[in-house]
Structure 1
């Protein structure tokens, strides 16, 4: 007897689990917004200098303390009367379209509006847009590098503590010791002790970069270690781990082949949160004047430089503060979306 076509079943290749993760991730609107803004931030700081080629250290004396966009948005006779709104709708497009002519017609804005510096310039006349790009490169590089260092130590300690019971108590008490320390005063003390030594070894910028990355990485691994340890404690009692152990698989091979791949979801979530924490910490150190030198901009350093001019030019704190806040918020949203997408209990709904 021959088989009919109705008896033939067509088998499809199994669907990759990462497509399931993406399907769950894109249902999280906040995570999609965070991913879009983080990609925009990366393109802005790394690809932007290819199009906006003005040197961040170039000084234009005539453009000191200007801010084109905010100045144009603030034109008009006031926002609390119909006449003020009418003046705003009349003057604002002209300010953006031809700022030089608008400045000649309105002398009060003559030194504030120019497309040569769309985001304005600082007290020395250095372009804010180019400094935002260069500063973003440094801030994001610090965040990514410190995150990788913290993940390495956190994953190593978490896996060892979770898999080897004999050292679990010792490593967890060591972790608790770091968690109990006041991290910001500790960071300040370490930077004050080793800043000059590393500057002499690696240069002013390289030395402080190495110091900040190492300090943030060595004080940010504890949460990752505790999360990874909890996952390893649950995994080492699973059937596939017990089966691999019963046939004599060496511990290091069992960890690399069976344990680490199954804790990658927790590590990925910790990575996103680690980036946000590192960016905030670097910005705080730079804001306190203990970060990079004044001629090497970061977002935190731009905030610090703007504090002396806050009463005269309050808009100078807007751009670095806005990018720090939105970048950290976007990374946190990405981590929240990844946590939901990588959870099989949620993904299976």
Structure 2
């Protein structure tokens, strides 16, 4: 093994450590990471500890205040709000993460193709501009109204609406990722290591997979964190408008929609799911800020 290889190995192996060290000094990012981890653990393992059925109705305990048995009280039908928030968190986070993955795939694919192939740049960017110019919320409402009943009959009321919401959020959230990735690819394809690979006849597909994509991971990861937050907010907005999941399938947005008519009587029905949405979105945004700073070589090199 050459001396050059021996010198490069510690640098490569220390990259992840440098990123973590830079991320760790960002107080907001660390606080966001702790809060988001606690929320994820709560929605995953909480129903195993607090075993109350979120759909169980006890009319004698309707609109009950918080107690040991019902830490967040009950709704107008006697259902446990804490159990509903935990169950709703599973759905909201699943929608956010799945829609984010779809948006990242579309955005990275279009961004790489537009940045690397000059003949595709114009058409793909005009296609991206078209989506950016669309009024997204009215478009989402129209798509849901057109295809909701069909998917419910094909996959069931919960699964069908889940696929529909994930799909429409994913296909309307990829544009910023595409533009960021395209800009990075335009700069990367003129770098020496890419020109050298091209000069020896390396196929474009291999150059993209081995040299381009690994170097655009940073903006993709930052877009991923922000994409989760945006997807959760969008799903909550759709559910709040009554166009999301059915009433017996709680999400944080659906709980807000169901509790708005009882705001003066039991404000905790709106407070707890609203707090869950706010903490999740805020923590994810802070994680994204920390990742952006940690993955920035100029900041990391200070």
> Which TM-score band applies after superposition, normalised by the shorter structure?
over 0.9
Task: Work out which of the residue numbers 35, 59, 62 in structure 2 matches 1:61.
Answer: 59
- Structure 2 residue corresponding to 1:276, chosen from 229, 241, 244: 229
Report the RMSD for the aligned CA atoms in angstroms. Answer: 1.3
SS at match of 2:57: coil
The alpha-carbon deviation at position 67 of structure 1 amounts to 2.6
Deviations 1:310-340 (A, max 9, x none): 1211221110000101100000000000000
From 34, 37, 56, the equivalent of 1:36 is 34
Encode CA deviations 1:16-47: one digit per residue, 9 max, x unaligned.
20110000001110000110011001001001
Separation (CA, whole Å) in 2 of partners of 1:31 and 1:346: 15
Q: Residues 247 and 289 from structure 1, CA distance in 2 versus in 1: closer, same or farther, beyond 3 angstroms?
A: same
Partner of 1:91: none
Q: Are residues 243 and 208 of structure 1, via their aligned partners in 2, closer, same or farther at CA, if it must alter by over 3 Å? A: same
Structure 1 position 205, deviation (Å): 0.2
Q: SS state of the match for residue 16, structure 1?
A: helix
For the pair 1:143 / 2:96, whether they are aligned, the reply is: yes
Shift of 1:11: 8.4
Give the drift of 1:118.
1.0
1:157 partnered with 2:122: no
Alignment of 1:336 with 2:296, yes or no, is no
Which structure's residues are more often helix, by fraction?
A: 2
Paired residues of 2:72 and 2:268 also in contact (CA < 8 A):
no
Residues 188, 212 of structure 2: 8 Å contact kept: yes
Q: What is the TM-score normalised by the length of structure 2?
A: 0.96
What SS does structure 1 have at the residue aligned with 2:55? Answer: coil
Deviations 1:80-139 (CA, angstroms, capped at 9, x unpaired): xxxxxxxxxxxxxxxxxxxxxxxxxxxxxxxxxx31111101110010111111100000
- Who is 1:27 aligned against? 25
Paired position in structure 1 for 2:3: none
> 2:127, 2:71 → 1: CA distance?
51
* Partner Cα separation in structure 1 for residue 220 and residue 175 of structure 2: 12
Number of positions where the alignment pairs a residue of Structure 1 with one of Structure 2: 295
Does residue 292 of structure 2 align to residue 292 of structure 1? Answer: no
How much has 1:12 moved relative to structure 2?
11
Residue 128 of structure 1 corresponds to 81
Residue pairs, 1:78-117, within 5 angstroms: 114-117=67-70
Paired with 2:182 and 2:129, the residues of 1 have a C-alpha distance of: 13
Counterpart of 2:186 in 1: which secondary structure?
helix
Greater relative CO, 1 or 2 (CA 8 Å, sep 6+): 2
Displacement of 1:13 after TM fit?
Answer: 6.2
For residues 222-272 of structure 1, give each alpha carbon's deviation from its aligned partner in whole angstroms, at most 9, with x where no partner exists: 000000000000000000000000000000010000000000001000000
Q: In 2, distance between residues paired with 1:11 and 1:179?
A: 46
